[in-house]
Amino acid sequence: MHDPTVLKMAKTILNYSFKIKAGDFLFVECESVSQPLLAAVYEEAVKMGINVDYHVNQSAFEETFFQNASEEQVKFQNPLMIKRFEEITHLLTIWGTSNAKSLASIDPRKLQAYALAKRPWKEIFYRRLGEGTMEWCGTQFPTFAEAQEAGMSISDYQEFLFQACMVDREDPIAAWSELEERQQSLVDSLNKCDEFEIVAPDTHLTLRTGGRKWVNSSGHANFPSGEVFTSPVETSVSGKIRFSFPGIYMGREIEDIRLTFVDGKVVQAEAAKGQDLLQTLLETDEGASMVGEFAFGTNPGITRFTRNMLFDEKIGGTIHLALGEAFAESLGVNKSAIHWDMLCDMRSEGKVYADGRLIYENGAFLPSLHQ
């Protein structure tokens, strides 16, 4: 017997987030603690005539691997992963762990090498998403570890998560469809803009998006969602930005990040905590020091920082940049083994100008965007 809200979440993902039909090939990946959602998705998918396979991981296994693996093992390119990403039509990633800090003591250079080893199948993943031959959705199952990271009890965290996913409502699909329609008007207007100027405390950054595409993220690739994003022209990013919240990478925090860009590349990077990890990430490859994503968070139901970027980047009144891999669907071309989001709160003293006119102030879009 499935929890009714978890079952509603599974049905919403299969019937709204994905465009999936009988005969398609769905692959689900999760950690063992998130198996209640996997079980609900699996049963519903089989009933729909979908071909389903899955992989269940253990955070303890990841820790064991990184503590003991040789350099050759870390760099091993699993041919089964490459084959999987060539064949599946739909991928569901269910996040949720029993230990959010299992990799906190691992040498950043090992994590960097591992990320580079995954690049061949990551390239297939991003290419097929851009072609429209594969769909992906990433979602979160409520666990004690994530609740602790967010500073909440498990019951409060469950309530927060289910509200963010709108599965506490009678008709979640109708609610997500309404959000999708509202955000489309933003995307339509942003696609007419080219030059953006971002102004906030310790931040003055310019970038261009002409020739790129703004994307309406409304509960399909991410569940929950609530953002509009694009990939800026790589060489156009110039200026400085200070990120309001810690950057999180594989469970490790980098605090008070300040970046300076010249002609699209990071030329100076500072952090109050985690400087070594920050520098290691920037040196992952050529594209790691360039911006792959620029986005506005638009979900009014997500208001607090939880140390989980699935939710945090959707906080209404924030913007975020991602270093590394750009999105083919937004016509970005930057390539990297990483895609790492960092968040800037715009709800106090934040302004964004587009082509010289003020379109966004104190965390809200202005009517001038649509003029």
What single letter denotes the amino acid at residue 155? S
* Residue 59 pLDDT exceeds 90: no
Could you tell me whether strands 51-57 and 318-324 are parallel, antiparallel, or unpaired per DSSP bridges?
A: unpaired
Token look-up 């016509």 returns 331
Q: What predicted TM-score, i.e. pTM, was given to this entire model?
A: 0.91
- Per-residue pLDDT of 118-155, as tens digits, reads 999 999 999 999 899 999 999 999 999 999 999 999 99
Q: Which of 315, 333, 317, 313 is nearest to 325 (CA)?
A: 333
pLDDT confidence of residue 133: 96
For the record, the structure tokens of 247 come out as 């950057």
**3-class DSSP assignment, residue 179:** helix
Four-CA torsion 203, 206, 208, 213, nearest 10 degrees: 10
Angle, vertex CA 327, rays to CA 63 and CA 219, nearest 5? 80
Q: Which domains does the chain have, with CATH numbers?
A: 4-168 (3.40.1830.10), 174-370 (no CATH)
pLDDT confidence of residue 371: 87
* Model confidence band, residue 215 (pLDDT cutoffs 50, 70, 90): very high
pLDDT confidence of residue 366: 98
* Model confidence band, residue 60 (pLDDT cutoffs 50, 70, 90): confident
Angle between helices 172-190 and 4-12 (to 10 degrees): 40
Contact 268, 282 (CB under 8 A): no
- Per-residue pLDDT of 90-125, as tens digits, reads 999 999 999 998 888 899 899 999 999 999 999 999
